Structure 1
């Protein structure tokens, strides 16, 4: 069942949840190693999805039954890698600058939708992708202090997240949101466990409380994202993911005292504008294809 309005609201809520997660992750990663933080997060995540699967009709067998098991495995491995890479970027660059570079992700989705999903990308969207990369170059202005080897870290995370999103759309053709949710939690937990156990550190009481909040928001955010894609077309809801950048800016400025550089603002606006245009063009093409299909099915007099 399609419900674009609900899909939009879920994407907005997902953006807020992910922004809060990123703020907590940055705080914890300044005191503890990334492996342990991500491991605890996905141990809790996997525990919840397994419990939900046990309580649902069909149990674990139905929840784990995927039409695309190898793609689901790849999704989990890519996601866990992306999260570790992005948290590293938060520590090295800060929330605002990391997310300013990360905004290129939807344009990467557009660029990669052809080879991965077989979608046609027209010249207008390729122009938008090129403009978006110009925006990233503005963000990475050497005078801003962003241009360094660490600037490649959020760029790599954006690439990984784009692939994760495309694979999420791909498996939605045959797997329910519950199946994708189950595979995400279990695969990520299994993959990160060896690293988390070998890098274990004791935590303080307040940080343990923040860790508990991070664990709760982890499965809530990813479930809402999966549901959003299941309810609405990606081109209709993806622009609202940019709301996360606004929330991140407030968290970075008010909580961590980060600086909002003018070149980062200009570059981010260019990337966001290019991304919204690309998604709008995709929506236009989808509606035109639907109209042509409807005309083809209409009996001719």
Structure 2
């Protein structure tokens, strides 16, 4: 049994959000030049290798990690994640890191709102109000003048919806499958699925961009490893609010590296969304207690 240490878990979560924000910046750079399907395929190949190593060293080995009580649900969950990543990276290209992450920050609200119909969980009126306020924040971000109602403006919202569905499916399969099985399907099965598409979109990359791809792969494995450790040593309710730091780090990279504008409506709207999300997390913790 791993000793619980919330302070250590929070530190690990902060590191994870910074690594994931760096990943998003690298993903935007690569996707602006190369096909996103190929880039995601290479990334998942490396991630699958990482997952296989972890599974082989776990109790029961690869046989236990690959045995699911809900294989079709796990397969659907893996497909949803792959499509979500593709859509979100396209959002980085068309909208930038700042706007994409500002809208994507609403996904915990979508998780809270959909947990009732999908998982049969009770959602009280306070969380319903918080969800509504959070989506007012999204409308503030996507106000007229930025491109509201254009297809590009809906890209990160679609990604947030898919990631919320992926999160709910993870909780659903987690009722009967251990985390190691879900991790195996995410990496190995995900790599097989994306290869079916990505192999037909292969492009030659420059040596420098292969270097960026290597960094992307290493950071992906490192980030997920640290995330696992964070949830091992700390309570999920204690560290989950710090996941919002990815918005801060990604926005900083977008402004400094890619020279993206930081409009006041985006700052205000993102603040509303984050506050509403933090409230829903707090209410979920109170309800669980």
User: What is the TM-score when the length of structure 1 is the normalising length?
Assistant: 0.89
Equivalence for 2:247: 245
Contact 1:144–1:263 at 8 Å: present in 2 too? no
Change (3 A) 1:76 1:228: farther
CA distance in 1 between counterparts of 2:234 and 2:75 reads 24
Which of 120, 125, 130 in structure 2 is aligned with 1:118?
120
Equivalence for 2:203: 201
Q: Describe how 1:1-301 pairs up with structure 2 within 5 A.
A: 3=4, 5=6, 6-145=8-147, 147-226=149-228, 228-229=230-231, 234-287=236-289
Change (3 A) 1:105 1:79: same
- State the 1:60 CA deviation: 1.6
Looking at CA atoms only, which structure, 1 or 2, has the larger radius of gyration?
A: 1
- State the 1:84 CA deviation: 0.3
CA distance in 2 between counterparts of 1:10 and 1:163 reads 25
Query: C-alpha deviations, 1:232-258, integer Å up to 9, x for none?
Result: 554433211110011011100111010
Q: State the Cα RMSD in Å.
A: 2.0
CA distance in 1 between counterparts of 2:169 and 2:5 reads 20
Contact 2:4–2:235 at 8 Å: present in 1 too? no
Which moved further from structure 2: 216-225 or 179-188?
216-225
CA distance in 1 between counterparts of 2:36 and 2:132 reads 33
CA distance in 2 between counterparts of 1:177 and 1:230 reads 11
Unaligned runs of 5+ in 1: 288-301
Contact 1:25–1:214 at 8 Å: present in 2 too? yes
Unaligned runs of 5+ in 2: none
Query: C-alpha deviations, 1:165-204, integer Å up to 9, x for none?
Result: 2222333333333322211101211111022111110001
Change (3 A) 1:11 1:168: farther
Which moved further from structure 2: 5-14 or 94-103?
5-14
CA distance in 2 between counterparts of 1:173 and 1:220 reads 26
Greater relative contact order (CA < 8 Å, ≥ 6 in sequence): 2
CA distance in 2 between counterparts of 1:51 and 1:206 reads 28
User: What is the TM-score when the length of structure 2 is the normalising length?
Assistant: 0.92
CA distance in 2 between counterparts of 1:130 and 1:4 reads 34
Change (3 A) 1:279 1:4: farther
Change (3 A) 1:67 1:191: same
Which moved further from structure 2: 228-237 or 9-18?
228-237
Equivalence for 1:296: none
- State the 1:7 CA deviation: 4.2
CA distance in 1 between counterparts of 2:23 and 2:9 reads 21
